[in-house]
Amino acid sequence: MPEPFFVYFNRKLRLREESGPGEISGDIEGVTIMKGNDRVIATLNSLLADELTAISQYIVHSEMCDNWGYGKLHGKNEKRAIDEMKHAERLIGRIIFLEGTPIVNKLNQINIGATVEIQFRDDAQAEVGAIKAYNDAIRVAVEVGDNGSRELMESILKDEEEHLDWLEAQQDQIKQMGIQNYLVEQVD
């Protein structure tokens, strides 16, 4: 017969209190709990702020491109914003799994470009910053032995590298064909 919930909850609470930060506690009568490392949770929250900032920046750039009639750029920026939303969702899930509190009301500096060229420059700078931040965060996860967080961050890092590669390709095309010819290609 299953035990009452309050008995289960009290055993889980006792197990949590006996565990230090970052420990995966043993089993107390069938109750296992994961308590995250404070450094990892803080690092994940910092990455979350970066992702939420990128979402806002990319959505604004997407809508500006749509307003200017550059439908292809609108779609690409919108897709990158959605990718960043998925990253934020995964980070939030991991923070909660580690018994932390996601901080969703913190944004970093948003840089809105007045032209497509400036947008690409600002977005590329954001991606370079994200790549550095994820590499640093992966080192923290490795130091404390949190391989689940490490794997999550490695996966997101690959997406950020792809975003930067695309942005650099666009900047190269502009240099090769000129901004006017490039923008003609972006009309949908």
* DSSP state at residue 136: H
- What does the H/E/C string look like for 69-126? CCHHHHHHHHHHHHHHHHHHHHHHHHHHHCCCCCCCCCCCCCCCCCCHHHHHHHHHHH
Q: How far is CA 7 from CA 2, 13, 14, 17, 31, in A?
A: 10, 10, 11, 16, 11
Bridge partner residues of 24 (DSSP) = 34
Q: Which amino acid is at 30?
A: G
Look at residue 25 in the predicted model and tell me its pLDDT.
Answer: 47
User: Which residue did the predictor score with more confidence, 11 or 140?
Assistant: 140
Q: Is 111 exposed, middle or buried (0-12, 13-18, 19+ CB in 10 A)?
A: middle
- Mean pLDDT is lowest, of 2-6, 119-123, 137-141, 160-164, for 2-6
Taking Cα atoms as reference points, which of 93, 87, 94, 84 lies closest to residue 150?
Answer: 94
Predicted confidence band of residue 14 (pLDDT cuts 50, 70, 90): low
- Packing angle, helices 71-97 and 116-144, rounded to 10: 20
Look at residue 35 in the predicted model and tell me its pLDDT.
Answer: 83
User: Which residue did the predictor score with more confidence, 172 or 6?
Assistant: 172
Predicted confidence band of residue 60 (pLDDT cuts 50, 70, 90): very high
Residue 105 has pLDDT above 70, yes or no: yes
Look at residue 7 in the predicted model and tell me its pLDDT.
Answer: 52
CB atoms within 10 A of CB 160: 25
What is 36-185's CATH topology?
Ferritin (1.20.1260)
Q: What is the pLDDT of residues 64-92, one digit of tens each?
A: 999 999 999 999 999 999 999 999 999 99
Look at residue 116 in the predicted model and tell me its pLDDT.
Answer: 99
